[in-house]
Structure 1
Amino acid sequence: MILRSGRLDKEMTDEAAEFTSSLEADKEIFYADIKCNYAHTLMLKEEKIIDEDIADNILHALLKLKEEGYSVLNFDPSVEDIHMAIENYVTDIVGPNAGFMHTAKSRNDQVATDIRLVTREKIKDIQNDILDFMDELVDMASNYKESVFIGFTHLQHAQPITIAHHLMAHVQALKRDYERLSDTYKRVNLNPLGSAAMTTTSFPINRELTTKLLGFDGYLENSMDGVASRDFAIEAIFDLSSLCTNLSKICEELILWSTYEFGVIQMDDAYCSTSSIMPQKKNPDVAEVARSKATRVNGELVTVLTMLKALPYTYNRDLQEITPHLWYSFEQSKAVLSIVSKMLLSVKFNEDRCLELAGKNFATATDLADIMVRERKIPFRTAHKIVGRVVNEATAQKMEATDVTSGFVDDIAEELGFDKLNLPENLVKNALNPLENVKMRQVPGGPAPEMVTLAMDNIKKFIKEERSN
């Protein structure tokens, strides 16, 4: 009503007011809006742009509202958003002088500031959750550094690893998700306040002061960009989409590994259900639902990109519709992260089954070829050909990898037209033994227990440093 009484002769219909209202999503920015108004009013006072007593009355009313909370605000169909609701509250206490709070400020730069204030808090919040998950996952992995497992490519048996090495792969992915959010934070934490509607103001405001008061790293240096830029929202939602994609991959593995065919893990009953008709069933329902819910953030990203793709500079009311998608992305990501972390950390690995899989299907064959290259200086492609035929013949004879001998290898080499290799029997046996195979991979980033321990130490150091910042 305050705004419309000047330029417009008619009030919006209740339907139109409700349709354009942003109040539901504005709940998230309630405290940020108070903080923004407070910093701006304090700056106006310090720069002597408004009377000191008037400023003090406004500041007192804002502090009172902060203590009383969102529920004391009065909402009716004429209140378009949280900014008007707060201004009405201050007006009820201070009187018409509350209007001085809006000097040299627009709702355009105000809402842009509020959203950035809340977004940076939400980034830090979910980053703390990521660090907690990483920390606990490293602890879990430390129990499995010598527990041999099979690694997959194309979901086919590839090469032996350890359970710890596999878990640490997820830790590294989470670390990148954390770092992406940190990088985004730098672009979120810039101050639009002072841009006003789109061209700043003729009042001698102090943007450095409001930037300091609000804890921003700097201010946006173009007022048009200041009110219109929402690429930080795109970036944040993309980061969350990446996080949820990685969490979905964890769910997929848990679902596969818990099947009878894999038999690699035992899911905690707390995250499973049974069938309404088949009493023997133990279904990984929570992992399935989490896998599905993780995709929602992808939809939010596409929605926001589509909203922004054809907007001219500067402010358009379309921007209001972006904010709910941003908040929802954080809400869903945080929920999926919470349930997936608890679910994975509760899993029990069947170490005997993991070892059995690691010894099947000649997953150790690559090292037999490597030994030929090292010991007999033959080209890797030649060794690859010999070992490929070894696998074919051994499989046809229903032999296991541990049944292969140096003599068997020599017979195959001669059949292919190569000289005998005369490899020491112990080297052949060690190469084809899953545990020894893993221990030989003492390259940084590899699955050897010493290398996994090094990676764990580095992650623990990273987590400690981030928590201290």
Structure 2
Amino acid sequence: MRSDQIRQGRLSGERSADLEHFLASMAADRWIAEADLLVDMAHLLGLSRQGIIDEAPARALMAALLDLHDHGLPEEAFDEHYEDIHAGKEAYLIGRAGEDFGGRLHMGRSRNDEVATCIRIRLKQELIALVQSLAGLRRTLLDVAAAHTETVMPGFTHLQHAQPTTLAHHLLAYEQAFSRDTARLREAYARVDVSPLGSAAFASTGFPLDRDYTARLLGFSRPAPNSMDAVAARDFAIEVLGDIAALMTTASRFCEELVIWSSAFVGFVHLDDAYCSSSSIMPQKKNPDVAEIMRARAGSAAGSLIAAITIVKGLPMSYNRDLQELTPHLWRGVEAARQSIPLLSGMIATAAFNTERMAAEAGRGFSTATELADVLVREYGLPFRTAHRIVGRAVRHGSLDIATLEGAAREAAGLSVVDLGLTEERIALALDPRHAVAVRTIVGGPAPAAVAVQLTEQEELLARDRAWAEETDTALSRAFEDLISESRRLIL
């Protein structure tokens, strides 16, 4: 079976093992091996339907393909002597059915359109799975947020205490980001969902193929409209890698906060032991290793994106072998997200938040100073910039009590806040973190009522995304089931 049928015509001589390994794509091809069998079946059904292949070879080839589908590809099909799984599988078919039959499957087809079709099939499956995985993460975030609408905590800018917020508000910020990541993946799916099959090397073929028929068999919405673009395009892969890089960046930011929050300095959260490790030398250590590795995986995903862009940017139309080097980066980025998102969901679901510690920190660092300045504006008629200057001057002096504010007002603005009617009681209310949160009731704010609206809206969006994933997955699975059924009918 080691005879390379593709080299036998134009080329001669043997390759060294190092050269075979350098050229081979077998490691990445394992991702698309099952999809390649589906592509073979659809192409063979198309050849048979159009009368391009006779009944006897069609039946023999389909019987062999169904056997591979039912029992898996033999390991020898992945021998690097064949460069890729497409050549390895064809060699297996020729060895089983003879060249007179086995050598007919590739009519009207090139490895160029074959591999592009396989990548798109597998990528569609991965996109559906990622949307489903993100739905699980978002479900976790919404559930935990719903339980903490009144859990006051400090909000930060520049990693400094800024204004009080709630844990629910904070978690919903991430849920919003992950919902946008979901939307981007759904949008990318539509551009992946075109079939290159039938484009051949790039100039299509003189065989009367029905590309609409094979596209439908493989669960695609339509065939790619230009045969050259169909085999040369990898912008769909770059787009998906870009979406994954954005998604993993969001996950990395969240992991960074979990690392900080779980430290002894902050103590906002205790991560479940399953997501942590200890030290080989320091017995007291509990390290947030899953969160740390996930941060690193975000860097790997971004690297895969940059590698893919760099590989494609200098390529002329149409197909160039350089594209083989892009594919491992695509699967590496996909795998980073596929592994990370469920783990992040589990890490959040099992985390124990220290609500008392959060509440204790909520008012530190003069974090309610903004509300006090707003009170001076809303209730006492001062221009905001004047109120900002007065409160800022009082903070510089180290206190926001009535005496310090009065001195700051006279010093910074030449007026008396006492004469305006400001009291110690009103100051105390303004500086209460819970009050500062409660008054922020406008759309998007951290007040429990505003958060309740956000929860309702995101629940509805999540339901729509879950429905899309379920419907799309069902439709794709049904197409493959119908394809297998049609293939079995061919050999009856």
1 CA distance for matches of 2:17 and 2:277? 47
| 1:297-446 matched pairs, under 5 angstroms | 297-393=301-397, 395=398, 399=399, 404-405=401-402, 409-415=405-411, 416-419=413-416, 420-423=419-422, 427-446=426-445
8 Å CA contact 1:372, 1:421 repeated in 2: no
Q: How many Å apart are 1:26 and its aligned residue?
A: 0.9
* Correspondent of 1:17 among 15, 20, 38: 20
| 1:36-115 matched pairs, under 5 angstroms | 36-71=39-74, 73-76=76-79, 78-95=81-98, 96-115=100-119
Q: Which runs of 5+ in 1 are unaligned?
A: none
- Does the C-alpha gap of structure 1 residues 92 and 279 become closer, same or farther in structure 2, counting only changes over 3 Å? closer
1 CA distance for matches of 2:60 and 2:26? 26
TM superposition score normalised by structure 2: 0.89
Q: How many Å apart are 1:391 and its aligned residue?
A: 2.1
2 CA distance for matches of 1:49 and 1:275? 66
SS at match of 2:161: strand
2 CA distance for matches of 1:444 and 1:276? 49
SS at match of 2:322: helix
Aligned to 1:27: 30
2 CA distance for matches of 1:17 and 1:236? 30
1 CA distance for matches of 2:433 and 2:78? 68
* Correspondent of 1:203 among 196, 201, 207: 207
Aligned partner of 2:454: which letter?
Answer: A
Aligned partner of 1:451: which letter?
Answer: A
8 Å CA contact 2:78, 2:85 repeated in 1: no
Q: Which runs of 5+ in 2 are unaligned?
A: 469-492
- Deviations along 1:143-202, one digit per CA (max 9) or x if unpaired, are 111010000000111100001111111111111111111111111111111111010111
Q: How many Å apart are 1:73 and its aligned residue?
A: 4.8
| 1:118-129 matched pairs, under 5 angstroms | 118-129=122-133
2 CA distance for matches of 1:428 and 1:216? 64
Aligned to 1:457: 456
Aligned partner of 1:347: which letter?
Answer: A
- Deviations along 1:51-92, one digit per CA (max 9) or x if unpaired, are 234323322221111001023654545422111222223223
8 Å CA contact 1:194, 1:207 repeated in 2: yes
2 CA distance for matches of 1:77 and 1:275? 42
Q: How many Å apart are 1:408 and its aligned residue?
A: 5.5
SS at match of 1:460: helix
Higher relative contact order (CA 8 A, sep 6+): 2
Q: How many Å apart are 1:133 and its aligned residue?
A: 0.8
Aligned to 2:477: none
SS at match of 2:9: helix
Q: How many Å apart are 1:349 and its aligned residue?
A: 1.4
8 Å CA contact 1:294, 1:336 repeated in 2: no
TM superposition score normalised by structure 1: 0.93
SS at match of 1:373: helix
- Deviations along 1:209-260, one digit per CA (max 9) or x if unpaired, are 1111111122222211111111111111111111111111112111111222
Q: How many Å apart are 1:466 and its aligned residue?
A: 1.7
2 CA distance for matches of 1:291 and 1:77? 34
| 1:212-361 matched pairs, under 5 angstroms | 212-361=216-365
8 Å CA contact 1:410, 1:422 repeated in 2: no
Give percent identity, aligned residues only: 44
2 CA distance for matches of 1:220 and 1:427? 68
Give the superposed CA RMSD: 1.9
Aligned residue-pair number: 461
Aligned partner of 2:429: which letter?
Answer: N
8 Å CA contact 2:137, 2:344 repeated in 1: no
2 CA distance for matches of 1:195 and 1:343? 46
